[in-house]
Amino acid sequence: MRFAVIQFPGSNCDQDCVHALQVLGQEARLVWHQETKIDPEEGVILPGGFSYGDYLRCGAIARFSPIMPAVKAAAERGQVVVGICNGFQILCEAGLLPGALTRNEGLHFRCEKAYLRVETPASPFTSHYVTGETLTIPIAHGEGCYRASPEILQELEAQQRVLFRYCNAEGQVVPEANPNGSSHNIAGICNAQRNVLGMMPHPERCCEVEMGGTDGRGILLGAAGIGRKI
Amino acid sequence: MKMKAIVTVTLKPSILDPQGEAVAHALQNMGVKGVQSVRIGKHIELEIEGGDEKALRAKLEEISKELLSNPVMENFHLDLRAGG
């Protein structure tokens, strides 16, 4: 499958995403934010980084980029859209996912490996995993504290739209394992149609043994519509 | 006529403000007593062509909701005054 990896001024994980997708046998093309077209067969990746220097709020300005109407249209058509880190922030600002990402509770920029508990295999992005599986995926963010109204949190839980939660090495979702103070230890969510994923951890950084892990492969392969090999 | 709009954006009371808390701690370390809490927000000044004040206010409200603040986590206060 081919992916459009959107480059905003200040994106810095765009090349990593292209590389990871190619390693996984997928096609990827870089799409500058001033372009306006996304093909109806493509997947879309909004990569990590600091679009527009994080001015005003993370993702607030990228949301008005010329490419964003095409990203919205792709999401509405059911194409997969994956926002990683800054991409997650942009998806929330653009209203493609609910809630917002605010300053990490402990104020520190957290750059480390995080343990994630897979909450459900019921999405393209988690189809390679089983409920309760623990993944090790790097995080690198200063504003990853997920916040939403109690009603939205309830809706996300009821619809099983929380796909990943921060957990400890044993897979337990506990406050100590939460690196940024996110409500309900949320690390990644999807939309109601389950084709749009937003997550703070970086699956593209762990798709090769040489990079220290391969736990991110299933997320990107799943996004590409490739099922789990049994 | 030139008008000046001052938009103050603050985190909603229900949202934890770790920056404010860090400043509150620093004040304690400075020896300042009696500060109950510190909340940090943004002060945004816009110079804007005036005209019908009601229409202008509506426009500024829209700008504040759409871009200057994120209604999920922030409130805003609008102050419109004459002069640049």
Residue-wise pLDDT for A79-110, tens only, equals 999 999 999 999 999 999 999 999 999 989 99
Q: A117, A78, A87: which is closest to A223 by C-alpha?
A: A78
Catalytic residue among A85, A190, A206, A207: A85
- Nearest CA-CA distance, residue B71 and chain A, Å: 9
pLDDT above 70 as % of chain B: 99
A145 noted as active-site residue: no
DSSP line for A150-219: HHHHHHHHHTT-EEEEEE-TTS---GGG-SS--GGGEEEEE-TTS-EEEESS-GGGSSBGGGTB-TTHHH
> Counting Cβ atoms within 10 Å, is residue A168 exposed (0-12), middle (13-18) or buried (19+)?
middle
- Enter the tokens of residue A199: 């997550």
Which chain A residues have a beta carbon less than 8 Å from that of B15? 102, 147
Confidence of residue B7 (pLDDT cuts 50, 70, 90): very high
* pLDDT at residue B84 in the model: 58
Interfacial B residues in 1-40 facing A (CB < 8 Å): 11, 15-19, 22
Domains annotated for chain A, with CATH where assigned, are 2-223 (3.40.50.880)
Is the CB of residue A149 less than 8 Å away from at least one CB of chain B?
A: yes
Cβ <8 Å between B72 and A60: no
Domains annotated for chain B, with CATH where assigned, are 2-82 (3.30.1280.10)
The string of pLDDT tens digits covering residues B71-80 is 999 999 999 9
Q: A176, A180, A155: which is closest to A167 by C-alpha?
A: A176
A33 noted as active-site residue: no
Is the CB of residue A181 less than 8 Å away from at least one CB of chain B?
A: yes
Is the CB of residue A55 less than 8 Å away from at least one CB of chain B?
A: no
State which amino acid sits at residue A157. E
The string of pLDDT tens digits covering residues A174-215 is 999 999 999 999 999 999 999 999 999 999 999 999 998 999
Four-residue CA torsion sign, A67, A68, A70, A74: positive
* pLDDT at residue B44 in the model: 97
Cβ <8 Å between B18 and A105: yes
Four-residue CA torsion sign, B11, A11, A209, A24: positive
pTM above 0.90, yes or no: yes
> Counting Cβ atoms within 10 Å, is residue B13 exposed (0-12), middle (13-18) or buried (19+)?
exposed
CB pairs under 8 A between A and B: 34
* pLDDT at residue A229 in the model: 59
Residue of chain B whose Cα is closest to the Cα of A183: B15
The string of pLDDT tens digits covering residues A117-138 is 999 999 999 999 999 999 999 9
Secondary structure class of B24 (helix, strand, coil) = helix
